Amino acid sequence: MADAMIPGSIQPRLHPEPVVYAIVRPEFDATGALATVLEPEGLTVVVEQADADDDGLLYDFVGAWITIDLVTKLDAVGVTARLSAVLAEAQIPCNVLAGFHHDHLVVPWDRRHDALALLDGLR
């Protein structure tokens, strides 16, 4: 895929705290979550690790939340594929979450700086 698929500068921005994924009960107050996904198996929340620890949530992955400050249309083709492909080429796992205005990537906390450098290279 060509870098031309990324219009303009993507401006990756790192959330300052590590984040985790956890499954919570339906009554869990998820208002402080960075993201939620409702699946048949339960409600997944992405929250800061410190909040998860405070709430006694179980998790096994500690990640870094990277927001892509490029505003893309929800029907844009290939943007998230290109971002995740660049990280995959460097053996950096990546979970992609799309918001209305921005895409968000969650990568392993210990690879956050590598991921940012690669994403910055797409400018």
For domain 11-120, give the CATH superfamily.
VC0802-like (3.30.2130.10)
Between residues 25 and 47, which one has the greater pLDDT? 47
User: How far is the C-alpha of 7 from the C-alpha of 122, rounded, in Å?
Assistant: 10
Rounded mean pLDDT, 17-37 = 95
User: How far is the C-alpha of 102 from the C-alpha of 23, rounded, in Å?
Assistant: 24
Distances (CA, A) of 23 to 32, 55, 78, 88, 94: 15, 12, 30, 26, 19
Tell me the pLDDT band of 123, cut-offs 50, 70 and 90. Answer: low
- Report the sign of the C-alpha dihedral through residues 21, 18, 88, 36, in that order: positive
pLDDT surpassing 80 at residue 19: yes
pLDDT attached to residue 2 = 39
Pairing of strands 42-48, 35-39: antiparallel
Helices (H), the chain: 49-55, 79-89, 112-120
Between residues 106 and 75, which one has the greater pLDDT? 106
**Which range (21-30, 49-58, 64-73, 106-115) has the least confidence?**
64-73
Pairing of strands 95-98, 35-39: unpaired
Tell me the pLDDT band of 6, cut-offs 50, 70 and 90. Answer: low
User: How far is the C-alpha of 46 from the C-alpha of 34, rounded, in Å?
Assistant: 6
pLDDT surpassing 90 at residue 17: yes
| Model confidence pTM above 0.85 | yes
